[in-house]
Structure 1
Amino acid sequence: MRRKTPGKQLRAIVCGSTFGQFYLEALNLLPEEFIIDGLLARGSERSAQCAKYYGINLYTEAGQLPDNIDLACVVLRSGVLGGKGTDLSQELLARGIHVIQEQPVHHKDMAACLRVARQNGVLFQTGDLYVQLPAVRRFIACTRTLLNRQNALYIDAAFASQVSYPMVHILAEALPSIRPWRTGTVSREGGPFQVLTGTLGKTPAVLRVHNEVDPNDPDNYLHLLHQVTIGTAGGSLSLTDTHGDVIWRPRLHITKNLGTFGDLAGAYPEHLLENSTETLGPSSSASYKEILTKQWPGAIARDLSSMREMILENFDTAMKSQQALLYSSQWQELTETLGYPVLRPGGSHQPLPVSILQTEAEKVAVNG
């Protein structure tokens, strides 16, 4: 039976108190759109503290949930990562609750969740905060504009294997097509990075992947999150970091008919007047504290608002579901090509104050 369209505010729960805290904060940013009913977790001290902090109910079993829940945010490891997130998603969907499940989700598990969702007249989608971050959204928008005018000549991407699913999502949103996805050679010789060559769509691509993990702390010690450069005849467009600047670098072209250095210094060809490096939009420089407390919850809030809109408008998600299945399938192909991450236990946090580097940079500026 199809659920009745809920009112303006949706009653939501969050499942999981680790990364789920970011979802709780995102919901807290949207008081006119959502009512946070509670947190479903194992009942640890941390879970109790989270529930107390937001003034919400703490449930320890899905059977304890009230019947009026509209949306569940399942922020637990999915089946492909050895967790119970996918099983819980299907259980909640079967109860007639809309579900947004944090990525990554195996394409077979996703297909199963979509099937249960259709049978019960509710929506299922995966959550991915990375494509909603300001710098990534800016990169996607600029890439689309660029590739409407010039063809991509190459793609150079670097990322950590832990965030490979969002990397596939970012590329799929930015490029006209990432099909077919063909992998050429894979280099695993030394160093923390594995290098894959191949094609995305019809564009040559080099993927550099940090495929190492500390088994005792798998969410830390990444050398990077995402970096991408798209090269065209006019120049290259780069996302310098998931939270960093979007940079345009026009290609250097020295006009052949210049006679002397005086000609170059005087009669400028117009294209030489453009900066050799241009930041597109505002600088994205921010502390990690701001990123974690502001940008991440804000990005998740965009995902949740979109989900709410689809629920209220009975949006036909067939095409969106097919796209999500494609992302997941190609992510699975990529990870199979890479193989299991190299285990690097014993990682340690060794922060370096930027002031040390800034001092040396200022010396160069002073000394010329």
Structure 2
Amino acid sequence: MNAPSGRAVTGAPSGPLRTVVCGTVFGRFYLEALRSFEPSFTLTGVLAGGSPRSRASAAEYGVPYYTRVEELPPDTQAACVVVRSAVAGGAGGELARALLARGVHVLQEQPAHPDEVAGCLRLAREHGVQYRLNSFYPHVEPVRRFLAGARALRELRTVRYVDGACSSQVLLPLLDILGRALGGLGPWAFADPAPVAEVRAATGVPVPFRLVHGVIAGVPLTLRVQNQLDPADPDNHAHLLHRVALGTDAGTLTLADTHGPVLWTPRLHVGRDADGRLALDGPGTGHLDQPTSSLLGTGRPEPFRRTFAELWPAGVRRALAELRAAVLAGGSADAQYTLTVSRMWQDLTTRLGRPELISGTHAPPVHPCELTVEPDVTLERV
């Protein structure tokens, strides 16, 4: 995929950015996002490796199909590179560099090695175009709700600790979520994970999560990472995507899951009366009327079907809107932030080591109604 002699159209766009999508696996969400994104973007093609699936995707969206960067029309202005990068054994970085050298703005799906990110940023500067690494999940509506709550909370209280959990496949987006929630990344540092070999040797029980302590934005972090992967089905068998809690002296803001809900849990504090007893009523106890936890906003967790059909494409549109804003502004203020997130991710993945290879099995779903059981009241009647 060498850069051709011809160059694509660059500069501030006067109309929608003519955009191609590279890759059609996770790229299907980018295609759906671009289906109707006028007047900001126009989907003008699919670039992929030649599989029947990719050709069928191009036909479904009514756009031309390409297999080489050199085949793209010279008026191509932007590209979504949704192909695995070199760290995952793919050619996403090579493809991004070829497009940037052609004068095409690039939005690349995470993750990417910091050297790859730095190289793309240099090429973007040289050719007067924009390069952005899309960590995807911070743009999904429930995470955005959590981040908005985090910004409001930081104005009221100091964040004392962060507790996070994720699967290794979405570790880079978690670091981006934490950076946005805390208003920055530095100072940051991570310790090596707590050892589990002795536990496994004594019991024979595999330990799915690795525990890491660290600091982000000067805030103590406790992080659990499911460092496991099914090589035959790498997109499945994660116990969770993201779970984050920001703790303050007033309470904890929690993103229960990537797709919500967002909860506020006030920290329990009960004063004492003149006799030293816990003051449960009377003057100064008005705060005890606050709910033990509250659901923030009106949003409720959506079915997976709607998440894939609407929430994820909407998240892609927000990432694309940021790309267009950078194009219109003629510069990007978050290049150093993006590079730092990638370096943090590299540090952590190096400390965690290669994921444990597992052979996952599909488990039948459990419906909430199966868990809605009244508690035992036998002793209450004694």
TM-score, normalised by the number of residues in structure 1:
0.93
Q: Is contact 1:15–1:75 with CA below 8 Å preserved after alignment?
A: yes
**Aligned partner (choices 137, 151, 154) of residue 147 of structure 1:** 154
Report the CA distance shift for 1:177/1:37 in structure 2 as closer, same or farther (over 3 A): closer
The residue that corresponds to 1:176 in the other structure is 183
The residue that corresponds to 1:207 in the other structure is 223
3-state secondary structure, aligned to 1:153: strand
The residue that corresponds to 1:320 in the other structure is 334
The residue that corresponds to 1:51 in the other structure is 58
For 1:115 and 1:263, locate their aligned partners in 2 and report how far apart those are by CA, in whole Å.
Answer: 62
Report the CA distance shift for 1:160/1:346 in structure 2 as closer, same or farther (over 3 A): closer
Q: 1:158-192: CA deviations, max 9, x gaps? A: 11110000001000111133323222352242421
Q: Name the amino acid aligned to 1:343.
A: L
Instruction: Say yes or no: does 1:30 pair with 2:48.
Output: no
Let me know the Cα RMSD of the aligned residues: 2.1
Q: Could you tell me how far 1:258 is from its partner in structure 2?
A: 6.3
Correspondences of 1:31-110 after superposition (within 5 Å)? 31-110=38-117
Q: Could you tell me how far 1:357 is from its partner in structure 2?
A: 1.6
For 1:97 and 1:262, locate their aligned partners in 2 and report how far apart those are by CA, in whole Å.
Answer: 66
Report the CA distance shift for 1:188/1:224 in structure 2 as closer, same or farther (over 3 A): farther
Correspondences of 1:194-233 after superposition (within 5 Å)? 194-233=210-249
For 1:79 and 1:212, locate their aligned partners in 2 and report how far apart those are by CA, in whole Å.
Answer: 19
Instruction: Say yes or no: does 1:333 pair with 2:374.
Output: no
The residue that corresponds to 1:254 in the other structure is 270
Q: 1:7-62: CA deviations, max 9, x gaps? A: 21111000001111100101113132221111001221111211111111111121
For 1:345 and 1:54, locate their aligned partners in 2 and report how far apart those are by CA, in whole Å.
Answer: 35
Q: Is the deviation greater in 128-137 or in 178-187?
A: 178-187
Q: Is contact 1:185–1:198 with CA below 8 Å preserved after alignment?
A: no
Q: Could you tell me how far 1:267 is from its partner in structure 2?
A: 4.8
Report the CA distance shift for 1:275/1:52 in structure 2 as closer, same or farther (over 3 A): same
For 1:79 and 1:66, locate their aligned partners in 2 and report how far apart those are by CA, in whole Å.
Answer: 26
Q: Is contact 2:271–2:279 with CA below 8 Å preserved after alignment?
A: no
Q: Could you tell me how far 1:232 is from its partner in structure 2?
A: 0.8
Q: Is the deviation greater in 42-51 or in 62-71?
A: 42-51
3-state secondary structure, aligned to 1:264: coil
Unmatched segments (≥5 aa) in structure 1: none
Q: 1:205-227: CA deviations, max 9, x gaps? A: 21011110101001101000000
For 1:215 and 1:72, locate their aligned partners in 2 and report how far apart those are by CA, in whole Å.
Answer: 28
Report the CA distance shift for 1:328/1:366 in structure 2 as closer, same or farther (over 3 A): same
Instruction: Say yes or no: does 1:307 pair with 2:323.
Output: yes
For 1:335 and 1:61, locate their aligned partners in 2 and report how far apart those are by CA, in whole Å.
Answer: 32
The residue that corresponds to 1:275 in the other structure is 291
For 1:37 and 1:162, locate their aligned partners in 2 and report how far apart those are by CA, in whole Å.
Answer: 30
Q: Is the deviation greater in 146-155 or in 347-356?
A: 347-356
The residue that corresponds to 1:342 in the other structure is 356
Q: Is contact 2:237–2:360 with CA below 8 Å preserved after alignment?
A: no
Instruction: Say yes or no: does 1:289 pair with 2:296.
Output: no
- How many pairs were matched up? 363
For 2:359 and 2:280, locate their aligned partners in 1 and report how far apart those are by CA, in whole Å.
Answer: 56
Q: 1:119-156: CA deviations, max 9, x gaps? A: 11111111122001111111112112212222222111
Unmatched segments (≥5 aa) in structure 2: 1-6, 197-205
For 2:266 and 2:51, locate their aligned partners in 1 and report how far apart those are by CA, in whole Å.
Answer: 54
The residue that corresponds to 2:200 in the other structure is none
3-state secondary structure, aligned to 1:141: helix
